[in-house]
Amino acid sequence: MTSRLAPFPLPDLSGRSALVTGGSSGIGLEAARALAAAGASVVVTSRTQTRAADAAADVGARPEVLDTSSRSSVDALAERWGGAPVDILVLNAGIAPPRRRTDSVDGHELTLATNALGHVRLAHALAEPLRAASGRVVTVGSVAANWADADASDLDLRRRWARGQAYARSKLACVVTALELPVRAGIAAVPAHPGWATTPFFGPGGAMRWVAPLALALRIGQDGRDGAQPLVAAAVATRFPRETGYVGPRRGLVGSPGPASLPRPARDAGVRAAWWAALCDRAGVPEEWD
């Protein structure tokens, strides 16, 4: 696949630190590459040491092992991090839903645990290092969040599970996290989405074997480097669209970074409050972060 966009212009990030979860492939790897190229001291995480080390060597970063579906893995990374300042925290790690409903090691729906709950817990654990650096959190949403069921009463989808809803709801959770963090924790946060990025996230099999090439041919998809640009813009930009604060491709699924429309469920303050409370409960952290 060939990138269509010019590289996103970045300021000199020398002396600044960045932690990118899920930084071993796809848009996470490309975001880490861009931040490192601008001079940031970057840490990339993956579920395995080998993948983390390979990615770190590729982009000039430091590797860390992290499985965001596991509280103990999140806590271990936070302990290793210590009190070092965090300038940029890109909460990118994620999975596509499995074929059947699966619980994480901590008993939560696996897609939600991996894509959202672990990130809430990690952001809470690194709240002081973020505040010390006047740092910023970037969460990764998706256009799929527009179709998420907004009911927060069954966050783990125990009553009725479907792959599409599991993914859409996990991405709504990511957007809500970024919108609530400034209010609940006093930490700057920006949600971003990559549009349609045809990356290894979707895997080599199934419908994506023909959908991905077709999407690129029709110019409704873009590669990982272009898909990472909204994340990079969210991490460093100094001005954001007042109406949403959400960053995505200007043409919806493709294009350079610009203002994006919030997912419909995230526009309701009551929905955001209910989801924040439920997410914090499942992640094992308080709603108000002192």
Model confidence at 272: pLDDT above 80: yes
Amino acid 290: pLDDT:
78
Residue 255 is predicted with a pLDDT of 86
Which percentage of the chain shows pLDDT scores above 90?
81
Specify the pLDDT at position 186: 96
**In this structure, how many other beta carbons lie within 10 angstroms of the beta carbon of residue 255?**
18
pLDDT at 2: 61
pLDDT(73) > 70: yes
Q: What is the pLDDT of residue 201?
A: 52
Please give the pLDDT value at position 214.
46
Query: How far from the centroid of its chain's Cα atoms is residue 172's Cα?
Result: 11
Alpha carbon separation from 240 to 6, 135, 246, 272 (Å, rounded):
20, 16, 8, 20
What pLDDT sits at residue 240? 61
- Evaluate if residue 203 carries a pLDDT over 60: no
Selecting among 8, 167, 246, 275, the annotated active-site residue is: 167
- What contacts 282, CB < 8 A, 6 or more positions away? 108, 112, 113, 117, 155, 156
Of 52, 1, 57, 3, the residue nearest 23 (C-alpha): 52
Angle at 235 between CA 231 and CA 236, to 5 degrees: 125
Please enumerate in sequence order all residues whose Cβ is within 8 A of that of 192, keeping only pairs 6 or more positions apart, or say none.
Answer: 138, 139, 140, 141, 230, 231, 233, 234, 246, 247, 248, 257, 260
What are the residues whose beta carbons fall under 8 Å from the beta carbon of 271, sequence distance 6 or more?
A: 150, 152, 176, 265
The answer to whether 51 touches 64, Cβ cutoff 8 Å, is: no
Query: What is the model's pLDDT at position 204?
Result: 44
pTM of the predicted structure, to 2 decimals:
0.92
pLDDT 10s digits, 215-267: 555 456 788 899 999 999 999 987 665 556 899 998 778 888 999 999 999 99
Active site residue 246: no
Query: Cβ(175)–Cβ(140) under 8 Å?
Result: no
What pLDDT sits at residue 7? 87
Residues 128-184: pLDDT tens digits? 999 999 999 999 999 999 999 999 999 999 999 999 999 999 999 999 999 999 999
Residue 109 has pLDDT above 80, yes or no: yes
| Cα distance between residue 171 and residue 249, in whole Å | 17
Mean pLDDT (whole number) for 35-44:
98
